[in-house]
A and B are shown apart, each in its own frame.
Chain A
Amino acid sequence: MAQLPRREFLKAGTAALAGMTLSALGLGSITGAAEGSSPEKQVFVYTCPVCGEQFPDFEQLRLHFSGMHRELEIPKTVCLTINSVEYDVFVEDHWTLREALIRAVGLTGNAKQMCDRGGCGSCTVLIDGKPALSCTTLAVECEGKQIETSEGIAADPTYRPLLEAYVRNDTAQCGYCTPAQFTVAKYILNKYDLNPTEDQIRLELSGNICRCGTYARHVKAIMEAAEEMRGGK
């Protein structure tokens, strides 16, 4: 095997790391997608919870359910607006938004389960533009509200500089808390009109706990992204 010079090896290592960071963010599939592709074109399959048959839209599933499973009560459906796309999902009254996002919608990238008690911030999503803990929000209470997750923010070209700053600064070490911090980062950029101070960033991110201790990198990444986005305006 031809040996790489040490310098070349380090370069290759950095590139691999950057790639890993992207996938660790849970954003890999989306960052790879062509920008500008309309989010309405997402293929979403509706699966019958009883027999497992699949349907392209909700109305057909409802028809199937009321025809084939007449003896069963039709489960409650809630219309959740996630990343500007409306999803009709089956949820139960006691499901939290985190459970609905993962089980019913299939967005596993953002709402991570860690403490599940509102103590760590790893499941933070934006509800009506404000950070909220999806583990202590009931899914049925989110009907009619705008829910944003890290997948949607990362796919938005406006926030590309933020995503790139996050990768450049290696904010994801193990990456488990990073998507939640990323959604709060978007909130910070909006709230302070792309001009946050370091103290404001630390204050707003103080609800998110990171066991790897990447706190300083988030501050740096958000400051860099804010500067770049101000310049782009």
Chain B
Amino acid sequence: MRPFKHIQASSLEEAASLASREGVMVIAGGTDLLGTLKDECLPWYPNYIVDLKTIPGLDEIREEDGALVIGTLVRLQDIADSELVRTHAQALAEACGRAASPTIRNMGTIGGNICQMHRCWYFRCPDNRFVCARKGGRECYAYKGDNRYHSIFGIQGGCLAASSHDSAPALVALGATVVTTAREIPAEEFFMANGCKSHVLEDGELVKEIRVPKTAASRFEKFALRKSIDFPLVNCAVAEDADGRVRIVLGACYPSPKRMTEAEEAVRGGIDEKSAQAAGDAAVANVMVLSRNEYKVEIARTLVKRTLLRLVSE
């Protein structure tokens, strides 16, 4: 890595004011950031790194007004192991328990997981060799190039990269709210791509905590080539809210996690083998496959069905 200066923040306000300056980046778990800095895949390189891990009080999970409040520095493994999360937001616990490897889950934080940058081999190519649409270029190289892991629902913001977070579909399905230093953002709006970022945060805005409403029934399923240390090819989260409406969210199929409203209509009358199959078909009815990723459609269809059936059978 090229040199930078390291600053330890003592409060979130201090970190936010530092982060709003030019050439400053924040680090929590570091599992995503240090890789991108070693590869130098971004158009800029920071002069300063602000460590958030020294800020007290952001690494706990608590209950508040019928919702779970998860601090931004809570490790993924701690969420996966938390009895509170497993009871009231099972999809999130399952998602965090399937992300990356056990070692990375011990290091990576939930705040970092939802803010991680997209995984596209053109975007992340070492030494910033492809100035793609996301970095202000004119072209998305995945359109004509190798796009086997990319979006099957078309383009968003000029980009075809698939969102690679495991926690994102779970948070959207559970109707979570991301509380930042400046505002509260519903998870559904949080994951819209914004330049090189995979989220809508402004410069100098940091995630403080995540508020997840208690949900009795929710499930998460992931399909990846390897069981461990792998990003999802497709992942799916379903959750039943207090009114009995089921939300279905597909991840890794679009630049942001995508809510499948047609599929939700298909299971309005209850979930059984037949309606789950119909939901799977409805979810992939409007796909726009690229030259090499048609295989993901079948995986998405099956995963929607499988996750819905797990919701009623377990």
Contact = CB atoms under 8 A, between A and B. Distances in A.
Say whether A and B bind each other.
yes
Interface stretch (A5-13, A42-50, A117-125, A160-168): A117-125
Contact of A118 (B4, B35, B227): B35
B156 interface: no
A92 B103 contact: no
B4 A131 contact: no
A93 B101 CA distance: 26
A116 B39 CA distance: 10
B66 interface: no
Interface string A124-146: 10000011110111101100000
A138 B207 CA distance: 22
A94 B101 CA distance: 24
Contacts of B53: 141
Instruction: Sort chain B's interface into a size bin.
Output: 20 to 34
Interface of B: 1-6, 27, 30-31, 34-35, 38-39, 49, 51, 53, 100-104, 106-107, 227-229
Chain A interface mostly: mixed
Contacts of A208: 103
Nearest to B228: A206
Nearest to B75: A130
30 contacts: A92-B3, A93-B3, A93-B6, A94-B3, A116-B38, A117-B35, A117-B38, A117-B39, A119-B229, A120-B229, A124-B103, A130-B106, A131-B102, A133-B31, A133-B104, A133-B107, A136-B34, A136-B35, A136-B107, A137-B30, A138-B6, A138-B51, A141-B30, A141-B51, A184-B103, A206-B102, A206-B228, A207-B100, A207-B102, A207-B104
Nearest to A96: B34
Contacts of A207: 100-104, 228-229
Contacts of B3: 92-94
Report the 9 A-B pairs with minimum CB-CB distance, sorted nearest first.
Answer: A207-B101, A206-B228, A207-B103, A93-B6, A117-B35, A94-B1, A136-B34, A131-B103, A94-B3
